[in-house]
Structure 1
Amino acid sequence: MLRAERLAALLWLLPVAGFSQQLSDGTAIHADDQRRLQEYHAAAGDALLQAFSGGDGADLAVLSDVLQGTPLPPDRAGPVMAGEWSCRMIKVGGLLPITVYQPFRCRIGSDGGFEKLTGSQRTKGQIHQDGDRLVYLGTGFIAGDTPPPYADLPPFSTIGSDPQRVPEVGVVEMLDGNKGRVMFPDPHLESRFNILALSR
């Protein structure tokens, strides 16, 4: 067999990069988003090192406060999530050590539907239970656009596409009925790790 033919045969044996895997509840997740979940702690550690080595003291104080607290298990988090939330985006690592934005408005439905309602960069999707954690799968988009659901997105985002739509994956942690956070490892835009702090 010629070298090129051998290479072609080997490529057929490799998994397709965009092939959907599943969360433990059976929800399909793109392979790249599953990778981001698997690299969650590496992304968080890298981002926090960047933040604490070059971030502003006031921003770091906000970050420290947001990261405090032990999350509730999923069966206790579900009943306290629904309703309107003030949500504050913190972008950590990447282009800048840390950027803390002013509060926006978010909403979580009784079915786990999640939406960031204000600001130029928005997200809309669904919170799922994945074993002993809650995982958010959604579509990142620009205000004014009507985003497709996560399931209809291509497996990889095209940065700079028009309209700009990217798959978003995050770990949801509820601390109580008045405080929570959505942690986005290795987001496609700008930063190394995003934290959407929830309060009411």
Structure 2
Amino acid sequence: MPLTRKPEILVAILALALTLTPAIAQSTPPPIRDDDAARLDVLNESLGQALRQAFAGGEKGELAVLADALRGTALPLDEAQAALAGDWNCRVIKLGRSLPIVAYPEFRCRADGSAFEKLTGSQRTKGEVHEYDGQLIYLGTGFVAGEVPADYADLPPETDPQSTPQFMPEVGLVEMTSPRAGRILFPRPHLESETDLLVLTR
């Protein structure tokens, strides 16, 4: 059938295409707070300061754990998203400020779709993983076990470390090095340390 016999069909298809194109071409940016975006911008500076302090004063065993945590090149974005899914052993390493390095025992974490949560231990975190500037970032809420955390997007604009309950905005760079290993780097967290690492293994 000649296309000119059904111009109204062509008009309808064109109108539909124009309606859909913006949604396909543009991805919704994650709801990142300005101060958290600023912390991500200084990740390398924060990590560098923390590593200098850790290696200057850390214990040999904890430094070996740190070296293992930082080993491995981050996977490309699409591979990293697939590798993150599932249950994990997760270990927090705190670097800098009050102590050179503190490596905690392993706890349990889980990633399901965009959701990520540290399930055990006294200090927990719960949030979502987003694509941001070609990388994966974690936006979540830090909280104490037993509390019901507010969503990251619902946290008050000002952060008060002395508040009760203590809900802290947390931002981190997610790097998966294989389907069995990865890490989340948290620059300049509001509590205790210069940089935190959440080390993922299974």
TM-score range, shorter-chain basis? Answer: 0.7 to 0.9
Residue 191 (structure 2) aligns with: 189
Q: Give unpaired runs (5+ residues) of structure 1.
A: 1-23
Residue 176 (structure 2) aligns with: 174
1:59–1:99 contact (8 Å) kept in structure 2: yes
Query: Match of 2:134, as an amino acid?
Result: D
Q: Measure the CA separation in 1 of the matches of 2:103 and 2:72.
A: 19
Question: Could you say which structure has the larger radius of gyration?
Answer: 2
1:156–1:167 contact (8 Å) kept in structure 2: no
2:30–2:132 contact (8 Å) kept in structure 1: no
Q: Give unpaired runs (5+ residues) of structure 2.
A: 1-26
2:88–2:110 contact (8 Å) kept in structure 1: yes
Shift of 1:25: 4.1
- Tell me the SS of whatever aligns to 1:141: strand
2:143–2:149 contact (8 Å) kept in structure 1: yes
Determine which structure has the larger helix proportion and give its number.
Answer: 2
Residue 3 (structure 1) aligns with: none
**Alignment identity in percent?**
53
- Tell me the SS of whatever aligns to 1:28: coil
Residue of structure 1 aligned with 2:74, choices 61, 71, 75 = 71
TM-score, structure 1 normalization? 0.86
Q: Measure the CA separation in 1 of the matches of 2:65 and 2:83.
A: 23
Q: Measure the CA separation in 1 of the matches of 2:158 and 2:120.
A: 25
Shift of 1:73: 1.1
Establish whether residue 37 from structure 1 lines up as the match of residue 40 from structure 2: yes
1:31–1:155 contact (8 Å) kept in structure 2: no
- Higher mean alpha-carbon deviation, 74-83 vs 163-172, is at 74-83
1:36–1:186 contact (8 Å) kept in structure 2: yes
What does residue range 1-200 of structure 1 map to in structure 2 within 5 Å?
25-109=28-112, 111-200=113-202
Shift of 1:167: 0.2
TM-score, structure 2 normalization? 0.85
Residue 5 (structure 1) aligns with: none
- Tell me the SS of whatever aligns to 2:176: strand
